[in-house]
Amino acid sequence: MIRTRLQEILDHCFQEGVTRNYWADSAAGAYTIEKPKREGQGDLSTNLAMIVAGRDKKNPRAVATQLVALLADCPLLDRVEIAGPGFVNFYIRPQIWQSVLLDIVALGDRFGISEAGAGKKVLVEFVSANPTGPLSVGHGRQAVLGDAICRLLSATGHQVTREYYYNDAGRQMRVLAQSVRARYRELLGEDPQFPEDGYQGSYIVDIAQEMLQEDGGGLKDQEDLSPFQAKAEQSIFADINGTLERLDIHFDNYFNEHSLYDDGHIDAVVNELRDKGLVYEQDGAVWFKTTELGLPQDRVIIKSTGEPTYRLPDIAYHREKFKRGFDWMVNIFGSDHIATVPDVMAGVRALGYDDSKITVVLHQFVTLMRDGKQVKMSTRKATFVTVDELLAEVGPDVARFFFLMRKADSQLEFDLDLATKQSQENPVYYVQYCHARLCSMLRQAGDKGIHLGTVDHARLDLLVESEELDLLKEMAAYPELLRHAAADLAPHRIIFYLQDLAGKFHSYYNKHRVLSEDVALSQARLWLISGLRTVVRNGLLLIGVNAPETM
């Protein structure tokens, strides 16, 4: 908002400088407005003079002096200063910051929402876990990350489709069916003949027990795995969907990998690559000649057993994404996909599609910690902790917040001791308590007969304390922060922002009285509190975390 207005004014001044022959227009669009890294260097700063000077072979401070003269009558600015080699620092008038409250009140829960995405059609694929077991905490991080990205994109005017891609065929599903059949026979007192690499979780026993109750043991001698696989898939998908429901995560579409085979898309991709001279056979396997596409080695896409590797159906799947007309395709993967991504992108390019329309977000693993040590608390699966187990201990709000507290490509240590604390040490509690306290202050004002009135009649010019202006500046930054977080697929920035905003509020609250004998000042500060409540609430709801009014 304010930065956007200042950018428009700066662009006008730049063009005015071109008209007056102060400089050429070669720097158009190359300069920026940024927040200074150090206190006391203004509210915002531009490198325009240095960019112009570098391209026109001029003295940057001389260019800066000309720019300052062009900005002399700018209604936003209290003053302008030249610093260092030619930075121009802007000091915004206090009344401009105070006016941010007018925008917040007018827009309410739409404050920060924009049409920056201009209706761009985006497909976001995430979770995509095969129905072989309950969701692990790694899947949980991906689910929350993907959902938060979808929320950011929707909030910035994109048309978002959420898609879950899964495979209900192949070796994994066959082993799953064998595992269920073995437990089924074991419950009947038979030799289970459990597969060597079978699924060991107690959920397999639960599925077998349910089947036994339904058919009374009629499948004891059944060699066909179909009924066991069908039951396992149905049960596990119900479990997965229940977990996602508890996290308030929903999908628009489920895409079955098996359909790529049934509809002939796998064969079509192989034939097309073969026609382009990019497929050959060696040692009984089918190879994709990725070295022709700039990669260090060729890759097997069909094993000598006739079974495709992951790369082939993934290439075919992306081909279908393009055919469905999406402008942007976002894939949320675990870091274990890092080796296959370049090969799939090479396949997309080889088929004639623009792989720049695909963005892959790789997230690192999650380590649960308690007392400084790694925790294994699963009772359903010996090798991983389920999301349901985590939710039972910390709840959805904490799980969501903690999963987003680090950049996707950073390792995440989930501190259970911290997550379960009901104190301001817990970052979720800290931000939620900020919102609850803001609500409480507004209720207290009403109880004391102090009413806000209308914001356009409030004496917002009384909000001149440095902490008040800091809060106003922080609130003013929210819309742009949201736009950048969406464009960069970086929901962790919303978490960082909310923590900073809550910290500034708590410091302000400890230093200044909101309600006093001065009615005009009290009303002005109550509007500040009201604006803060709106922004904190909007930010929390944006990432799917509740904004409680009492705690």
Q: What is the pLDDT of residues 46-60, one digit of tens each?
A: 999 999 999 999 999
pLDDT at 191: 81
313 and 280, same domain (yes or no): yes
Question: Residue 77 belongs to what domain range?
Answer: 2-92
Task: Tell me what the pLDDT averaged over the chain comes to.
Answer: 94
87 and 110 part of one domain: no
What contacts 67, CB < 8 A, 6 or more positions away? 13, 17, 48, 49, 88
If asked whether residues 152 and 188 sit together in one domain, one would say: no
Same domain, 429 and 472: yes
Within a domain: 85: yes
Question: 3-class secondary structure for 147-174?
Answer: HHHHHHHHHCCCEEEEEEEECCCCHHHH
CA 416 to chain centre: 22
Residue 452 has pLDDT above 70, yes or no: yes
pLDDT at 377: 52
Average pLDDT over residues 265-284: 96
Residue 375 predicted with pLDDT over 90: no
Task: Determine the Cα–Cα distance for residues 356 and 103; give it in Å rounded to an integer.
Answer: 37
**537 and 492 both lie in a single domain:** yes
The structural domain count of the chain equals 4
Query: In the predicted model, is pLDDT for residue 161 greater than 90?
Result: yes
3-state SS assignment for residue 125: strand
Tell me the C-alpha distance between 368 and 379, whole Å.
Answer: 15
The whole-angstrom separation of Cα 126 and Cα 183 is: 31
d(CA 311, CA 165): 14
Q: Is the pLDDT of residue 378 over 70?
A: no
Residues making up the chain, counted from first to last = 551
- Region 485-511 average pLDDT: 97
Question: Predicted confidence band at 312 (pLDDT cuts at 50, 70, 90)?
Answer: very high
> Residue 520: pLDDT above 90?
yes
Report the alpha-carbon distance of residue 356 to residue 359 in Å, rounded. 7
Q: Is 149 in the same domain as 297?
A: yes
Residue 217 belongs to some domain of the structure: yes
Question: Among 189-198, 223-232, 301-310, which stretch is predicted with the lowest mean pLDDT?
Answer: 189-198
Share of the chain above pLDDT 90, in %: 88
Residues facing residue 281 across a β-bridge: 286
Q: Do 86 and 12 share a structural domain? A: yes
**Distance of alpha carbon 32 from alpha carbon 26, whole angstroms:** 14
pLDDT of residue 382: 47
Q: Is there a single domain that holds both residue 104 and residue 125?
A: no
CATH number of the domain enclosing 134: 3.40.50.620
Model pLDDT, residue 526 = 97
Q: CB–CB of 401/545 below 8 Å?
A: yes
**Distance between CA 282 and CA 276 in Å, rounded?**
18
Position 1 scores a pLDDT of 78
Look at residue 430 and tell me whether its pLDDT is greater than 50.
yes
CATH code of residue 468: 1.10.730.10
How far apart are alpha carbons 480 and 476 in whole angstroms? 8
pLDDT at 354: 97
> Do both 137 and 262 map to the same domain?
yes
Q: Is the pLDDT of residue 399 over 90?
A: yes
- The encoded tokens of residue 95 equal 């009344």
- Based on the fold, state whether residues 111 and 125 are members of the same structural domain: no
Highest mean pLDDT (candidates 173-177, 257-261, 367-371, 493-497): 493-497
